[in-house]
């Protein structure tokens, strides 16, 4: 049995207990830890490697924001996955970070005239943009728990994804986005109909990009309207970061005639989102409550199950997490309800009431 002080840091799997002094004891095999580290290390390693390879090509201010965004999304994803294993929103952040790092590397390599195959690098740095926006749309729609607000919003995200795939396909086949991306290398291949494709692109692409970004704001507002106090705090942190980036963008345009200041502050948004997902999450509050001893009337195992209930896990998921059978978990849940004197009528959700009891302790 090994004890370690891990303030605010979750433990996943294995038998564990939390003492009143805040020290955590666990008998989980250390062999489980490398498996938990694999995903965050893979995400962080991939993003850092791609950004470092691009940065080695020199400093290009017009592309710097893509590198910073890649690092911001990648680091936040790795951090969140380390603290919240298999967190859905963190996985979406990881996808955005990897795509951003690919775009950054492609444009950096294309900007360096000495690079072999610069035309292909330029192509790689341009066409994934729409797909990246689609991945970012999913991340915004699913913030902060990795789930869309409703089936309707999921359908909107699917439509955005389909539109983004078509835009990326058009951008991959014809050099319609090269000028906007400031990529001067010639396309690696040429297909007929480039002028027609450009005409269609000008009519469709820019309005589509604008509507996609408007949908982000609408999704956040819709979630805000249905949010409780804790979720509203998470959304408020995200809103402050968006506001700061917007102010920097407007100031840059007004004073310097350039959006660069705004673009360089955009990485604050994923950083703020990551802090909201981890630092202001329900699970974090539950962990702090458990570190103070949890509910005195519950056994260590019951406090452990209540912790996982607060994270939104079903009985089956709790059984899988604790390596127990479902028949073992169900009586524990029933015992928690009984000890907390929660009514078993159809008008109440006893799982929600149990979590509230934990938070109010």
Residues in CB range of 189: below 8 A, 6 or more apart: none
**R_g over Cα of the chain:** 24
Mark residue 295 as left, alpha or beta (left: phi above 0; alpha: psi -120 to 50; beta: remaining). Answer: beta
Tally of domains within the chain: 1
**351 part of a folded domain:** no
**332 part of a folded domain:** no
Does residue 1 have a pLDDT over 50?
A: no
Spatial separation of the C-alpha atoms in residues 79 and 41, rounded to whole Å:
9
Q: What value, to the nearest 5°, has the Cα angle with vertex 341 and ends 340 and 346?
A: 115
Which residues, listed in sequence order, are joined to residue 24 by a DSSP beta bridge? 4, 18
Model confidence at 75, pLDDT cuts 50, 70, 90, reads very high
Predicted pLDDT at 159: 96
**258 part of a folded domain:** no
pTM of the predicted model as reported, rounded to 2 decimal places? 0.73
Question: 215 is in which domain, residue-wise?
Answer: 46-229
**130 part of a folded domain:** yes
Does residue 132 have a pLDDT over 50?
A: yes
Q: What value, to the nearest 5°, has the Cα angle with vertex 154 and ends 152 and 158?
A: 115
Q: What value, to the nearest 5°, has the Cα angle with vertex 56 and ends 51 and 59?
A: 90
**347 part of a folded domain:** no
Does residue 139 have a pLDDT over 90?
A: yes
Q: Report CA 133 to chain centroid distance, whole Å.
A: 13
**224 part of a folded domain:** yes
**205 part of a folded domain:** yes
Does residue 332 have a pLDDT over 50?
A: yes
**77 part of a folded domain:** yes
Spatial separation of the C-alpha atoms in residues 84 and 95, rounded to whole Å:
17
Tens digits of residue pLDDT in 142-196: 988 788 888 999 999 999 999 999 999 999 999 999 988 889 899 999 999 999 9
């Amino acid at each position: 049995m090994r004890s370690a002080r891990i303030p605010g840091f979750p433990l996943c799997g294995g038998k564990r207990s939390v003492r009143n002094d805040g020290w955590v004891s666990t008998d989980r095999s250390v062999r489980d830890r490398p498996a938990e580290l694999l995903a965050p290390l893979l995400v962080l390693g991939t993003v850092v490697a791609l950004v470092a390879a691009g940065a080695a090509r020199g400093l290009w201010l017009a592309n710097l924001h893509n590198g910073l965004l890649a690092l911001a999304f990648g680091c936040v994803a790795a951090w969140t996955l380390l603290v919240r294993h298999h967190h859905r929103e963190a996985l979406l952040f990881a996808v955005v970070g990897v795509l951003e790092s690919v775009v950054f590397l492609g444009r950096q390599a294309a900007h360096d005239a000495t690079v072999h195959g610069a035309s292909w690098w330029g192509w790689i740095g341009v066409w994934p943009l729409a797909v990246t926006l689609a991945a970012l749309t999913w991340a915004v729609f699913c913030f902060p728990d990795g789930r869309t607000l409703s089936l309707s919003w999921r359908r909107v995200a699917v439509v955005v994804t389909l539109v983004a795939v078509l835009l990326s396909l058009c951008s991959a086949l014809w050099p319609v986005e090269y000028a906007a991306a400031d990529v001067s290398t010639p396309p690696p291949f040429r297909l007929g109909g480039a002028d027609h494709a450009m005409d269609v692109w000008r009519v469709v692409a820019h309005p589509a990009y604008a509507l996609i970004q408007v949908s982000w704001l609408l999704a956040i507002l819709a979630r805000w309207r249905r949010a409780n106090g804790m979720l509203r705090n998470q959304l408020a942190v995200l809103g402050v970061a968006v506001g700061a980036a917007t102010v920097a963008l407007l100031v840059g345009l007004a004073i310097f005639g350039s959006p660069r200041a705004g673009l360089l502050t955009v990485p604050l948004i994923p950083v703020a989102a990551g802090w909201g997902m981890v630092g202001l999450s329900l699970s974090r509050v539950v962990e702090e409550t458990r570190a103070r001893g949890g509910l005195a009337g519950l056994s260590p195992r019951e406090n452990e199950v209540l912790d996982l209930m607060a994270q939104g896990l079903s009985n089956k998921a709790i059984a899988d997490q604790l390596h127990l059978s479902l028949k073992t978990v169900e009586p524990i849940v029933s015992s928690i309800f009984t000890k907390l004197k929660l009514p078993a009528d159809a008008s109440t959700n006893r799982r929600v009431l149990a979590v509230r009891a934990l938070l109010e302790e």
